[in-house]
Chain A
Amino acid sequence: MSDTATHSRKDATAGAPLLEVRGLEGWYGESHVLHGIDFDVREGEVVTLLGRNGAGKTSTLLAIMGILEKRKGTVLYGGTETIGMQPRHIARLGIALCPEERGIFASLNVEENLMLPPRIQEGGLSVERIYDLFPNLKERRRSQGTKLSGGEQQMLAIARILRTGARLLLLDEPTEGLAPVIVQQIGHTIKALKAEGFTIVLVEQNFRFAASVADRHHVVDQGRVVDMIPGEDLEANIDKLHAYLGV
């Protein structure tokens, strides 16, 4: 597995990164939460942002998506500067967010939730393929969105951004609060999505889970990326990582 990962990374290194974040700063009101985030994501990669609670991982995703209103620095997506854009325009470039709180709409049934995000470009998964990946959702497509179990809601939150043609998925703690067997399922899903060619930025606290799916890991601390650890070097760096995460 590490062979193919190295191989695909070498291939990807040839082109410019799909996402390039440089000196990204962000604020919630007066509170300065991002102090210069730097990282790259290449096409087809799965990279993580690891770090303690409050380190700035979620804020980084929100800043990339344009939801964090006050932000500066550089976020290039496919070479396009997005730092001054509205979230809806950033979404239209091909970036999609699966938020930490999942954001399933209570007044919509499962199918309505799934079909809500508009198709922005070619290349999204078909609904059949999505139901293939998440058979539970098909069974429960007439249920109210928030009547699903936590795991199913998480599946739905991921599923609905796969139809749209977005190529870069920002997944915010998809395993949070879920049973181990569901976490495993989500791990399989992320690998399947990588195989489909999606590029993924994964925010995680569950570092074992992160290790099992990602090519590279970025350690975020106090609003900065303080280290980058390639997936295959993770074992060698485990003590360092534990020190960062304080576990």
Chain B
Amino acid sequence: MSDLEAFRRETRAWLEENCPQSMRSPVMSDKDQCWGGRNWTFQSEDQRLWLERMAEKGWTAPDWPSEYGGGGLSREQVKVLRQEMARIRARPPLHSFGVWMIGPAILKFGSEELKRQHLPPIVRGEIRWCQGYSEPNAGSDLAGLQTRAEDKGDHFIVNGQKIWTSYADKADWMFCLVRTNPDVKKQLGISLVLFDMATPGVSTRPIKLISGSSPFCETFLENVRVEKNQVVGEVDQGWTIAKYLLTHEREMIGGFGRTAAGQKTLPQQAVEALGVEQGRLADGMLRGDIARWELDAKAFEFTAERVVDEAKAGQGVGNASAMLKYYGTELNKRRQELLMAIHGSDAMVWEGEAWNEGALARQWLRSKGNSIEGGTSEVQLNVIARNILGLR
């Protein structure tokens, strides 16, 4: 315990000295998030410094082994680091599909060569990754994907099309599910491969969403050469890794909509906008709706906590990620609808600096995708019914 307290003191002192003042406020827009990569333009010198200093300590991926550039911290130390960062409202130094998704998969399933090649640049924020999963005809039925990888001896030639690739137009490398064997059960002929987006034959086209932004792309793959050593795990065994990654993704998406440190909670915003009469929010019907949401939001927060505690204690039902993804995204959609109701016509404005360029409406529209991406709510309910309740 005293070791952990010493770590807390050191961490606090280090953060105090190294986290620039301007990095100690909540992320308000996409521009405040640092994604790194070859093409990244830092929003400010502070943003660059903050990433560089954290990466130097390996704290952009604090729980990864230090031999691959990570922080080498224990679970308890990572928790302390997060607490200390939250204490000074420090922003995450790096937003990264490398850290969140492909990194952990390479650590778990990848060869030593892949670990040495890919993990350190992820930690340093030098390479930005994107995920090539969905295809025009493989959405909920992801295992039905058709992008072909033909065996050419020492390499594969890949042909096909991916869709809903987050930030493909800004990414440097892709982790991509491809069909390496069309003659077996669909789940057994899939491999996970890695390639540079600058490889000849790779092209992207952004998709404009109802929110007006384009976080997703279509990605076209025409005779793209992929080296054999860039397969994660075994050839034809990619579905196992894909499911592992989907679990990560579901937990991540399920966590959207939690109020970040320093942000006003939904009830606080309601009180500010509508006022209080005799100790109660002035709009009685809206108050009831907000209370129903907050009861569920708290219950969900404790459930996420309990799932982690149970996993640590070696208990739990397993398959919790489907339930968390389903409930968390539906909850966030309710939250966004309530925010629209609380702010009324103010929330409907689409443009203008005084209106934060319609941020409220855009977030509300974007949240509709939460219960679609990473497996729809209906797919999550299928997973619960089949895998936990045994209904089929």
Answer yes or no: do A and B interact. Answer: no
